[in-house]
């Protein structure tokens, strides 16, 4: 069965799940457990946001990286971006160019800081409240792994919505590469550290401030593989009941995978701020998502549109 057929089946299963939206049962792994409730729900809408996750690929030539960044911010459907692999010689120039285009960026640039991650936003829509970095695990060199990795963790950036005064918090992260087998984790230091990373990240969604809490990141574990196999310590196993990805809510139809076969770039909404039904206490509802093509990076940006309700 091709992944395209699988994608269509997942969407069908999503729509069928609407009739069981009030059930607490996680369902069969062959079906998506949540409904794709995209029609407008009761309540005042504060804004409809475009949240993008993009791994810029730090080995790109400067002109190609700059072109990618300008292409992404030129998309009027994008308001907030979580970047990965920003430890690159070209990224300070990208930040300066974004600033001239009306975008602000939080990135902690210091010798041992998380300059692998950054969050940008449209200045006319948001202002910075706070930003922080938490390291989950240290790095490893060639003596420990065939695929060396830097210290990994996550950034938390809280923004104030200028129109309403409400708070949007963005959690951006990047897991180690070379961690999955398709059905589970590889037996490597990379995978062991990634499982530690996922365990800690699960608690972050419940703890960070914000009227709406969203997430971005390169998880280096394919959504379909993880959802089908649900390995112990995997993305679904750890994040379920803490945060929901756009894939989980909307399925995979219309979202082209990175590198032709891997849905590894994620957008999230924390469960406590997620809204699927009229009675839900959350404020954020997925409206749609799409991957973008025409980029030089080896990743496709993933953009989720999120309706933000006043609750």
pLDDT tens for each residue of the chain, 311 residues long: 444 434 434 443 443 334 333 444 455 665 654 545 588 999 999 999 999 999 999 899 999 999 999 999 999 999 999 999 998 889 999 999 999 999 999 998 665 555 689 999 999 999 999 999 999 998 889 988 898 888 999 999 999 999 999 999 999 999 999 999 999 999 999 999 999 999 999 999 999 999 999 999 999 999 999 999 999 999 999 999 999 999 999 999 889 998 788 999 999 999 999 999 999 999 999 999 999 999 999 999 999 999 999 98
191, 219, 266, 301 from 103: Cα distances, Å: 35, 25, 22, 18
Residue 146, domain member (yes or no): yes
What does the buried/exposed string (b/e) look like for 26-58 if buried means 16 or more CB atoms within 10 Å of the residue's CB? eeeeebbbbbbbeeebeeeebbebbbbbbbbbb
Residue 49, domain member (yes or no): no
pTM of full prediction above 0.85: yes
Per-residue pLDDT, 16 = 39
| Domain carrying residue 210 | 3-39+54-309
Residue 297 sits in a domain whose CATH number is: 3.60.10.10
Per-residue pLDDT, 110 = 61
Residue 46, domain member (yes or no): no
Residue 44, domain member (yes or no): no
Residue 48, domain member (yes or no): no
The total domain count for the chain is: 1
Q: Which residues pair with 284 in a beta bridge?
A: 274, 308
Residue 291, domain member (yes or no): yes
Residue 45, domain member (yes or no): no
Per-residue pLDDT, 113 = 53
Residue 16, domain member (yes or no): yes
């Amino acid at each position: 069965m091709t992944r395209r057929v699988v994608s269509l089946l997942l969407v069908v299963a999503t729509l069928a799940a609407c009739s069981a939206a009030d059930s607490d049962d996680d369902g069969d792994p062959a079906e998506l457990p949540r409904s794709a409730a995209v029609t407008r729900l009761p309540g005042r809408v504060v804004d409809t946001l475009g949240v993008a996750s993009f791994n810029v690929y730090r080995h790109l030539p400067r002109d190609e990286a700059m072109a990618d960044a300008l292409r992404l911010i030129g998309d009027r459907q994008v308001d907030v971006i979580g970047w990965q692999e920003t430890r690159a010689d070209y990224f300070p120039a990208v930040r300066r160019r974004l600033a001239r285009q009306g975008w602000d960026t939080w990135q902690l640039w210091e010798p041992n800081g998380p300059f692998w991650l950054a969050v940008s936003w449209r200045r006319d829509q948001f202002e910075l409240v706070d930003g922080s970095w938490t390291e989950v695990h240290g790095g490893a060199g060639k003596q420990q792994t065939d695929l060396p990795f830097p210290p990994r963790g996550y950034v938390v950036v809280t923004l104030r919505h200028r129109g309403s005064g409400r708070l949007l918090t963005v959690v951006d992260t990047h897991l180690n590469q070379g961690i999955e087998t398709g059905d589970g984790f590889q037996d490597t230091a990379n995978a062991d550290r990634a499982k530690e990373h996922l365990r800690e990240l699960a608690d972050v969604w419940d703890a960070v401030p914000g009227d709406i809490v969203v997430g971005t990141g390169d998880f280096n574990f394919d959504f379909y593989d993880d959802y089908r196999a649900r390995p112990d310590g995997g993305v679904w196993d750890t994040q379920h009941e803490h945060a929901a990805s756009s894939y989980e809510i909307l399925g995979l139809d219309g979202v082209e995978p990175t590198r032709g076969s891997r849905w590894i770039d994620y957008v999230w909404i924390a469960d406590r701020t997620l809204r699927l039904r009229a009675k839900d206490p959350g404020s954020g509802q997925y409206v749609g998502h799409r991957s973008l093509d025409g980029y030089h990076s080896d990743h496709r940006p993933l953009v989720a549109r999120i309706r933000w309700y006043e609750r």
